[in-house]
Structure 1
Amino acid sequence: MLIAILLSMPALLTPPRSAHAAPEAGARVDALLAQLARPAPSRLDFVEIRASALLDTPVRATGTLEHPDADTLVRAVRTPSPERTTIRGERVEIEREGRGTRRFALDRAPQLAGLLASFRAIVGGDGSLLERYYDARVDGRLEGRWLLTLTPREPALAEHVAWVALHGEGDAPLCLELEQRGEGGSMMLLGAAAAAAAGVDDGEALTRLCRGAP
C-alpha cells in the first residue's frame, strides 16, 4: 500500500505554491513567527512519510516532536521502530532500540544544524536565526491558511537540502515538507493533520491533508 504513496506524491518533487501568493517578505515572516512561537514545554504528534532513492518503498513513522526547554528538541519515534533523537545545545544523541546510543557534535552534520535552526526559529519566534540559514517567504493569509517556504542560503545546507515548506492555519503548524538533493524527500503531518492522517495510506489524500487542499 505504501508504494502508492511514493508513486502519487508529487509533493516530494516540487515546492508547493499557495493560491494566495503575496510579494511581502520580511515583515510577514516575522509576523508569522511571532504567531507560531511556543514557550517550552510543548509537543506535537507527527506522522511522517519519507521517500529515499535507497528504498523501494517509503517509510511511514509516527511519534512526537518535543520541546521540553529552550535549549532542547526531541524527536521520539513510536513506529515502526522506537527511536529517540535528542538535540541539546550543540550535541546530538540518538537512541535506537537494541542498537545502543550514538552521540556526536552538531557541527558534524551541517544539514541537521540548518534544519534544527528552522525548528528553533519557528518555536522561538526568532526571525534572525531563520534568516541566517534561509531565504524565507510567506504566502496566504496569516489568520487563515498559509505557507512558509524556506530556501537554504548557506552552501553547506544547500548542498543537501533543496527546500523546506511549512503549511499551517492561524497559529497551528500542520505539515512540514522537505526535499533533499538526490536523497528523496519527506512529508511530516503535525498536530491536527497527524490525527487526521491516522489510517490514511493514499498518497493524494495525505498530500491534501498536508497542503490543506479540498
Structure 2
Amino acid sequence: MLLASALAATAAEADKPGEAVTAGWILGKLAQPAPMATPFVEVRESRMLKNALRLSGEYRRPQDGVLVRAVRDPYVETTTIHAGQATIERAGRAPRTFSLARAPELAGLQDSFGALLSGDLVALESVYRLRSDGTRQHWSLELTPAEDELARRVQTITLYGQDAELRCIETRMVDEPQPQRTLLASAAEAAPVVVDADGVARLCHRGVASR
C-alpha cells in the first residue's frame, strides 16, 4: 500500500507540468530576492530605423525598488530606474535624469519587473489586467495597462516562460507596428546565432500555446 501511495504521488507530480497556469503560480515561480541579474538580447524594429537594431547587455536589480538596464553592445549605456525617475548614462556624456511621467513605458517596465521579482500579484494587478495562458512547462502572461496614461503608449506586455524561467518580454507599443522583444536568461544565451527579428520571435514564443 505504501508503494502504491508513493507511485500515485509520483504520478500526480508528473502530471503537474501539463496543468494550466494561473498568474499567481507564475509570479510565485518568478519571485527572486534582490540582488539579481540576467542577460538580455533585444532586436528593435521601428519606422525610424532603416535596419533592425540588435542590443545585448544585462538587467540588474541591485536592491528592491531599483532596476538597472545595462546595454553593452553595440554601444554602452546604463539606465537606472528608481524613485519615479530614470537616469541614462553614456561614456563621454553628462548623465540625463528625467521623470518616469515622461516615459510611461519605463514606468511600466519598473512596475512589472519589480512586482514580478517580488512575487507581488496585488501590485501587478493595480497596474495591469492579467491573462495567463499555457501550461507549467510553457506559459505566457499578458499584461494590459489598466491606467489611461500608460495605455496611451503601451498596448500590452506579454511575458513568455518555461517552468520557473522568464525567457522573453514582448512589448507592443501603440505607435509602433512591430512589437519589441527582449530575450532573457537561457533564451538570451541562445541568441548569439540569431541576427534578425524573426529569429528572436521564434526564441521568444517557442513552445508556448497558440493564442
TM-score (norm 1): 0.83
Amino acid aligned to 2:144: T
- Please give the alpha-carbon distance, in whole angstroms, between the structure 2 residues aligned to 1:71 and 1:174: 22
User: Residue in 1 aligned with 2:69?
Assistant: 75
Q: 1:159 aligns with which of 152, 161, 166?
A: 152
User: Residue in 2 aligned with 1:7?
Assistant: none
Paired residues for 1:44-123 under 5 Å: 44-123=38-117
Q: Structure 1: state its 5+ residue gaps.
A: 1-19
Distance 1:60 1:77, change over 3 A: same
Aligned: 1:37 with 2:31: yes
Q: Is the 8 A contact 2:41 2:183 kept in 1?
A: yes
User: Residue in 1 aligned with 2:13?
Assistant: none
Aligned: 1:170 with 2:179: no
| Greater alpha carbon shift after TM alignment, 94-103 vs 171-180 | 94-103
How far does the alpha carbon of each residue in 1:45-93 deviate from its partner, in whole angstroms, 9 at most, with x for none? 0000111121111210000000111121100000111000011222221
Paired residues for 1:4-19 under 5 Å: none
User: Residue in 2 aligned with 1:132?
Assistant: 126
User: Residue in 2 aligned with 1:13?
Assistant: none
Q: 1:21, CA displacement in angstroms? A: 11
SS at match of 1:65: strand
More relative contact order, 1 or 2 (CA 8 Å, 6+ apart): 1
User: Residue in 2 aligned with 1:196?
Assistant: 190
Q: Is the 8 A contact 1:165 1:176 kept in 2?
A: yes
Q: Number of aligned residue pairs: give it.
A: 190
SS at match of 2:195: coil
- Please give the alpha-carbon distance, in whole angstroms, between the structure 1 residues aligned to 2:19 and 2:151: 24
Q: 1:180, CA displacement in angstroms? A: 0.6
Taking only the aligned residue pairs, the percentage that are identical comes to 41
